[in-house]
Structure 1
Amino acid sequence: MSTQLKKSILVITVIAAAIMELIDTSIVNVALNYMSGNLGATLEDTSWVITAYAIANIIVIPMTSFLTAKLGRRNYYIGSIIAFTLFSALCGFATNIWTLVAFRFLQGIGGGALLSVSQAIVFEVYGKERVGIASALFGVGVFLGPTIGPTLGGFITENYSWPWIFYINIPIGIAVTISSLLLVSEPEIAAKVKSVDWWGILLLIIGIGSLQTVLERGETDDWFAAKYIIVLTIVAIIALSTFIWWELTTPNPVIDLRVLKSKSLAVAAVLTFVTGFGLFTSVFLTPVLAQRVLYFPPTITGLILLPGAALAIVGLLFSATLLKRGVSPLVIITSGFVIFISFAWQMSRVNLEAAPGDLVGPLIYRAMGIALLTVPLTALAVSGLAPKDIPQGTALNNMMRQLGGSFGIAVINTYVAQRFGLHRSDLLSNITTFNDQATARLTKLTNYFAGRGFSSFDAHKKAIAVVDGTINRQSYLLSYLDAYLFTGLVFLAAMPLLLLVINRKKQAGPVVIIGDH
């Protein structure tokens, strides 16, 4: 086997591992009702299946650089793939909800390495001369994973059963493990850990675990009306504040926060957070709008996402080419933000008569916007770092994307709930005896049901139910449209941060990526 073929297979292997991990961040979303009924659990308890995985991921991703140095990249990466695959199987075999949640947490621990280490390997294979292309190829996984997760999950649960959303990882995991055993090696420059920062690890687990739980469960439990949300918020603030102080003062931190002294990394981290906000909230909102309000079937919902996903690959490669030719990352990033804002604006104009084809165009804008952000944000993040700090910098950047997604979904859930109440109240205020159109509509519906053999009382009751359902549907539509607009405004508010690194616009060439991210 030629060296070039080995490199190609290695790149395909690690990108497949990253996609597998990212798909699992969203594949279970559409299967919660099936799990709930099958395991005899409430929907609120079943949602911990999502929360547990997210908590584990967010904890492990920033520790990747430390764990790779401590255990060795090859050992840590292959061990993580095996753990991810094993616990995927055990998730499918689970017979009660809390066993499933425990296995799901452990699956997330294993999955934490599949993002950052995969990224490091892709960069290493392509080298500094083609880092833009490497970023683009890895960006395919970052974009496709969360996008196709709900569609794939819906198809599997509708045609098979929910355990298969976990079993599907087994053959892929085995293939990736075998390929990694044959092809993955230690980096030429491997960092060594002098001592283990146990206090840092403990504070990180407590702080991120508490924060992620608040973000994932806040809306479900009415935020600060629940005592445990208040307690966990206080714990998160104290633990994370102490963690920051400790990591900045200890000589061998588990996460070297000193790299954030780089202005380009600090700005890129915030913009990556915003990008994660937009990526994950749009993936969350679009299927819900399509199925809950516009009544598209799951298959059609999946299909309207595909053109954008396919064109995103072109956008990723295009942005990499622009970087290679010396175009400033800031120009590409600005274009990505503008295009995504255009997507948000177009989606905020959708109405109840929208056909599937009407959403394809805006979703292409979404895909291209995110695609144009993924590669240059990575370049911007590391542009001001010394080679030894790049692994830690990119690990932090990856964490910010995932945290942005979790924060975004929590905020959007709350925002939609509040807007729904407001819009419903406004619409109901028009349903009075003084509104001739409302009265005529109600009378017509009552007569319709009376003609179907219902008593006058039951006919009137059914007519009111129909009107109420129509009001709810319109209220949800307006709420989701507001949410798209809100997401666009978040992107707009973040754009001025680019002015802080405008002096780096000439440093657009390839950056050197070494070690593990």
Structure 2
Amino acid sequence: MAAAPIQHPPLTGGALVLGTIAVSLAVFMNVLDTSIANVSIPAISGDLGVASDQGTWVITSFAVSNAISVPLTGWLTERFGQVRLFTTSILLFVIASWLCGLAPNLPFLLAARVLQGAVAGPMIPLSQSLLLASYPRAKASMALALWSMTTLVAPVAGPILGGWISDNYSWPWIFYVNIPVGVLAAAATWIVFRERDSATRRAPIDVVGLVMLVVWVGSLQVMLDKGKDLDWFSSPTIVVLGLTSLVVLIAFAIWELNTEHPVVDLSLLGQRNFVGGTVAISVGYGLYFGNLVLIPLWLQTTLGYTATEAGIVMAPVGLFAIVLSPITGKFLPRVDPRKIATASFIVFALVFWMRSRYTTGVDTWSLLLPTLIQGAGLAGFFIPLVSITLSGLPGHRIAAASGLSNFVRIMCGGIGSSVFTTAWDRRASAHHAQLVESANPYNPAFMQSVEQLRQLGMTREQAIGALHQGINAQAAMLGVNDIFYLSAGIFIALIALIWITKPRRATGDAAAAASAAH
């Protein structure tokens, strides 16, 4: 029998202020680490002596381990209590951040990032629970608004802070900055909430399901990360990883559908709204996150941007989102969420279409404008889609549904960054092969360009080298254009998936979960 939930009165005065700041700091630190490393990948890769596409593992390792740990939040909370678990997660996150900064090589850094992502899993859902329990029910919307503002400000600050630190100090400091923030958040959380912990019990854990979850997700991610280097399925290693992931996934699904205490409640896949909403939000998030990784990488490795400059280009994505998200939450109960989600996807498609028209001479304003517009799409992305996902579910199933949906979404984010960097490399190589066909002495236009450069003082070899450097930049540009164009088309196609759902008017629980799910 589960212990009866302990009802605590709302906090007041200084305790409420300190508690809100403590929880917000922890969330800010957590969400910041999903984006702060994006613009620092070239610096990390160069310092550790690895290729930039290997450096993206720093992002995907965090995302995948974070996704795996999210479904365990419910069991861990029952076992240890939400306050003890939240505080412990913060302190372990601090330790993992310290280890990331100390990393002497890529394998050590990846291991530390896996630990960091794993201990971060419970922090997001528990921060929501602690805030909602701290405010009177009549002011629950205010608590969720504060929570949402924090999660939207962090991605804005992440690229700028990460770029500035990488350019002016060294990349380990993007992880060291978590230490004072985390220590303060943990101390304040314990001071305010230690007497307000939830009841505990020795709940059973699905060990077999958990092991299979780790194996199939881990195998899939390693396959995606190593596929390009090993020439995909021509490599026995990739074939083994792919088969392992597929076979264990099938076994995992069978086991979870038949065990008494599943780590993931797959019976939710029989719900139309849940499946439609989860697939739409997960694929959309994978596209968004993959591009969020790809753009700074392209700016720095091809166009010569510094990490700070790349961060400034990415930063405006949160400005419209911060302003418009509270409005979305206010009107959601009175508007069909499918209409809001459709408008969001159209905005995303427009943004990626605009980016697909970039050239190697793109100016800063042309880079900033789509990023700014994308914030409007984000404002209508998370809240209505999670509302659709949870629509029609009884209250006791919302926690499991939110956990499974977030697991799929976070995993798709990690997969998206791996797939996009690999796809960019392959498309750039294909365009390069086409372009160099015309870069030969038998092409009058090419030889004319060589002569023009020679007249500027270059030797013949220098002129040919400069032209080939331009071809490399053009091939990389055409590669990202292909990915942007494909992303726009997928967002348009996902609109059909939104409209196969039949959401009901959001319940209080569903609305609360929707407001904070992102």
1:340 shift after superposition = 0.9
1:7 shift after superposition = 3.9
Give the Cα–Cα distance (whole angstroms) in 2 for the partners of residues 26 and 32 of structure 1.
11
Contact kept, 8 Å, 1:54 with 1:212, in 2: the verdict is no
Give the Cα–Cα distance (whole angstroms) in 1 for the partners of residues 424 and 103 of structure 2.
33
User: Relative to structure 2, which stretch is displaced further, 296-305 or 386-395?
Assistant: 296-305
Give the Cα–Cα distance (whole angstroms) in 2 for the partners of residues 215 and 190 of structure 1.
41
Structure 2 counterpart of 1:491: 491
Contact kept, 8 Å, 2:39 with 2:310, in 1: the verdict is no
1:142 shift after superposition = 4.5
Code of the residue aligned with 2:100 in structure 1: it is C
Given the alignment of the two structures, is residue 377 of structure 1 paired with residue 375 of structure 2, yes or no?
no
Q: How does 1:179-328 map to 2 (within 5 A)?
A: 179-184=188-193, 194-324=203-333, 326-328=334-336
- Superposition TM-score, scaled by structure 1 size: 0.88
Give the Cα–Cα distance (whole angstroms) in 2 for the partners of residues 170 and 494 of structure 1.
40
List per-residue Cα deviations over 1:40-68 (Å, max 9, x = no partner): 67767765544443332121112222222
Contact kept, 8 Å, 1:218 with 1:410, in 2: the verdict is no
Contact kept, 8 Å, 2:352 with 2:485, in 1: the verdict is yes
1:95 shift after superposition = 3.9
User: Relative to structure 2, which stretch is displaced further, 101-110 or 143-152?
Assistant: 143-152
Code of the residue aligned with 1:321 in structure 2: it is K
Contact kept, 8 Å, 1:88 with 1:169, in 2: the verdict is yes
Given the alignment of the two structures, is residue 69 of structure 1 paired with residue 67 of structure 2, yes or no?
no
Distance 1:306 1:90, change over 3 A: closer
Structure 1, unmatched stretches of 5+, are: 451-458
Code of the residue aligned with 1:367 in structure 2: it is G
Code of the residue aligned with 1:358 in structure 2: it is S
The alignment's C-alpha RMSD in Å is 3.0
Structure 1 counterpart of 2:477: 477
- Superposition TM-score, scaled by structure 2 size: 0.88
Aligned-partner SS, 1:500: coil
1:227 shift after superposition = 3.0
1:334 shift after superposition = 0.9
Structure 2 counterpart of 1:389: 397
Structure 2 counterpart of 1:364: 372
Q: How does 1:83-98 map to 2 (within 5 A)?
A: 83-98=92-107
Given the alignment of the two structures, is residue 354 of structure 1 paired with residue 352 of structure 2, yes or no?
no
Contact kept, 8 Å, 2:78 with 2:203, in 1: the verdict is no
Code of the residue aligned with 1:339 in structure 2: it is V
1:220 shift after superposition = 4.0
Code of the residue aligned with 1:338 in structure 2: it is I
Contact kept, 8 Å, 1:276 with 1:400, in 2: the verdict is no
Q: In the alignment, which of 344, 347, 350 is matched to residue 339 of structure 1?
A: 347
Structure 2, unmatched stretches of 5+, are: 1-9
Contact kept, 8 Å, 2:156 with 2:317, in 1: the verdict is no
Given the alignment of the two structures, is residue 166 of structure 1 paired with residue 164 of structure 2, yes or no?
no
Distance 1:383 1:132, change over 3 A: farther
Aligned-partner SS, 1:477: helix
1:248 shift after superposition = 0.8
User: Relative to structure 2, which stretch is displaced further, 409-418 or 309-318?
Assistant: 409-418
Structure 2 counterpart of 1:416: 424
The size of the alignment, in residue pairs, is 505
1:435 shift after superposition = 3.7
Give the Cα–Cα distance (whole angstroms) in 2 for the partners of residues 128 and 262 of structure 1.
29
Contact kept, 8 Å, 1:383 with 1:507, in 2: the verdict is yes
Give the Cα–Cα distance (whole angstroms) in 2 for the partners of residues 169 and 269 of structure 1.
31
Code of the residue aligned with 2:465 in structure 1: it is A
Give the Cα–Cα distance (whole angstroms) in 2 for the partners of residues 273 and 85 of structure 1.
28
Code of the residue aligned with 1:507 in structure 2: it is R
Aligned-partner SS, 1:431: coil
1:235 shift after superposition = 1.4
Structure 2 counterpart of 1:455: none
1:480 shift after superposition = 1.0
Give the Cα–Cα distance (whole angstroms) in 1 for the partners of residues 341 and 62 of structure 2.
30
Distance 1:357 1:40, change over 3 A: closer
Aligned-partner SS, 2:264: coil
Give the Cα–Cα distance (whole angstroms) in 2 for the partners of residues 330 and 109 of structure 1.
33
